[in-house]
Amino acid sequence: MQGQTSAFLWLKGPADWYPALCDADGHFQADVLSCANPSNLDVALSTVATQTTLAAIKLKTDNIPADPAKESGKLTGIDADTSNLDKPLSTWLPVAKARVFNTALPAANADLLGATISPTTSPSLLLVYVAVSVTGLFYVTRTSGGNTVSEYLNSGIALVAANAYMFTVPWRTGDTINFKYSVTTGTLLCLDVLEVVG
């Protein structure tokens, strides 16, 4: 319960009622107990850390390198090798290596390209898109160091007639490549070969 006069607001305390003074502006004034700084707040740092500890901290902070990434050779700067950043933009774009479109198949297991192809950039990848009108086995012939091998694509499973397939073939300097098909009397609907940098 609160009682009022023209000048006081009465507040209930722990044991009795106490008046709160009201000033001329109508604001109530209160006497608030303050809390002094804790006794350990303003002590010298040396009282909580030894001079030896402080000296060790200072030594560490004084020796922070200008380039922390290269401290003690533990990390290599990002600028250590920028040779690949200075290549012409054209070397990062796909290069058209060969294209055969809507052409009768040659004899079975004969070269599909008129000439072998070799890398423009090494190492790199060939993206090979192919569609043939008849079912058959499609494979790469790769020559390197005077030796030629056959590499069957699609896990050695015959391509389905008139279906399109995409293959990725890695190669490098010294390789020359052609493509072959196991049957004839059909049409090579499209063979498109692009070289890309991996």
Please indicate, yes or no, if residue 13 is contained in any of the structural domains: no
The amino acid at 40: N
Q: Judging by beta carbons within 10 Å of its beta carbon (0-12, 13-18, 19+), is residue 24 exposed, middle or buried?
A: exposed
The helix (H) or strand (E) run that includes residue 51 is helix 51-62
Please indicate, yes or no, if residue 37 is contained in any of the structural domains: no
Please indicate, yes or no, if residue 73 is contained in any of the structural domains: no
Supply the pTM of this predicted model: 0.57
pLDDT tens-place string over residues 14-36: 677 766 666 676 666 666 565 56
pLDDT tens-place string over residues 174-196: 999 999 999 999 999 999 999 99
Q: How confident is the model at residue 165 (pLDDT cuts 50, 70, 90)?
A: very high
Domain CATH code at residue 134: 2.60.120.1300
pLDDT at 39 over 50: yes
189: Cβ contacts below 8 Å, ≥ 6 apart:
101, 102, 131, 132, 133, 162
Please indicate, yes or no, if residue 170 is contained in any of the structural domains: yes
Please indicate, yes or no, if residue 103 is contained in any of the structural domains: yes
Please indicate, yes or no, if residue 83 is contained in any of the structural domains: no
Parent domain of 117 = 93-196
- Residue 144 DSSP code: E
Please indicate, yes or no, if residue 178 is contained in any of the structural domains: yes
Helix then strand count (H, E) for the chain reads 1, 9
- Residue 123 DSSP code: S
Residue pair 186/132 in contact by the 8 Å Cβ criterion: yes
Residue pair 179/112 in contact by the 8 Å Cβ criterion: yes
Please indicate, yes or no, if residue 34 is contained in any of the structural domains: no
Q: Within a 10 A sphere around the Cβ of 7, how many other Cβ atoms?
A: 10
Q: How confident is the model at residue 70 (pLDDT cuts 50, 70, 90)?
A: low
The number of folded domains in the chain is 1
Q: What angle do CA 187, 106, 113 make, to 5 degrees?
A: 95
Q: Rounded to an integer, what distance in angstroms lies between the CA atom of residue 43 and that of residue 72?
A: 38
